[in-house]
């Protein structure tokens, strides 16, 4: 294996992601190539630097910003109303059915009253 080919495999070699024959070829090459050994050592060092990079935390105000944002409040409203839960949606439809039935009854009843009232008028005339 030449240096160019080995350099494409060094990253996977470091992570132990090569097949056994590939791994063997790289190991053999590294034994006789100081340049490629140097790069492998650098990769190892960079991994350590990256993993030790200080973690950056969000400012405490981000919490407030998120949980008072219009988008969050809208979502919270929808979830509390149960608009995303099927059983509550069913309840609402059920309630609407009852309201509709009551409305129909009321219309029917008032029509009846109106008709009786008109008939009564005719009688008295």
Cβ neighbours for 23, distance < 8 A, ≥ 6 positions apart: 13, 16
**Residues binding Zn ion: what is the number (CB under 5 A)?**
3
14 vs 33, beta carbon nearer Zn ion: 33
Structure-token pair, residue 59 = 């400012």
Angle in degrees, 0-180, between the axes of helices 3-14 and 20-32, rounded to the nearest 10: 120
Q: How far is CA 98 from CA 8, 72, 105, in A?
A: 71, 33, 11
The 10 Å Cβ neighbour count of residue 36 is 22
- Mask: binding to other proteins, 72-111, rule CB under 8 A, as x and -? x--xx--xx---xx--------------------------
28 vs 95, beta carbon nearer Zn ion: 28
Which DSSP string do the residues of 78-115 spell out, in sequence order? HHHTTTT-HHHHHHHHHHHHHHHHHHHHHHHHHHHHHH
The entry of other proteins, Zn ion, none that residue 55 binds, CB within 5 to 8 Å by partner kind = other proteins
Site for Zn ion in 9-68 (CB under 5 A): 33, 36
> Interacting stretch for other proteins, rule CB under 8 A, among 11-19, 20-28, 89-97, 104-112?
11-19
Contacts to other proteins by CB under 8 A: 7-12, 15, 17, 39, 42-43, 46-47, 49-51, 53-59, 62-63, 65-67, 69, 71-72, 75-76, 79-80, 84-85
């Amino acid at each position: 294996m030449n240096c160019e080919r080995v350099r494409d495999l060094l990253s996977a070699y470091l992570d132990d992601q090569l097949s056994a024959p590939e791994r063997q070829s790289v190991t053999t090459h590294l034994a006789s190539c100081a340049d490629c050994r140097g790069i492998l050592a650098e990769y190892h060092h960079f991994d350590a630097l990256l993993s030790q990079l200080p973690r950056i935390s969000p400012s405490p105000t981000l919490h407030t910003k998120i949980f008072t944002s219009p988008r969050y409040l809208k979502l919270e409203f929808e979830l509390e109303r149960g608009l995303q839960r099927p059983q509550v949606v069913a309840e609402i439809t059920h309630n609407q059915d009852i309201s509709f039935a009551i409305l129909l009854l009321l219309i029917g009843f008032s029509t009846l009253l109106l008709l009786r009232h008109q008939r009564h008028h005719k009688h008295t005339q």
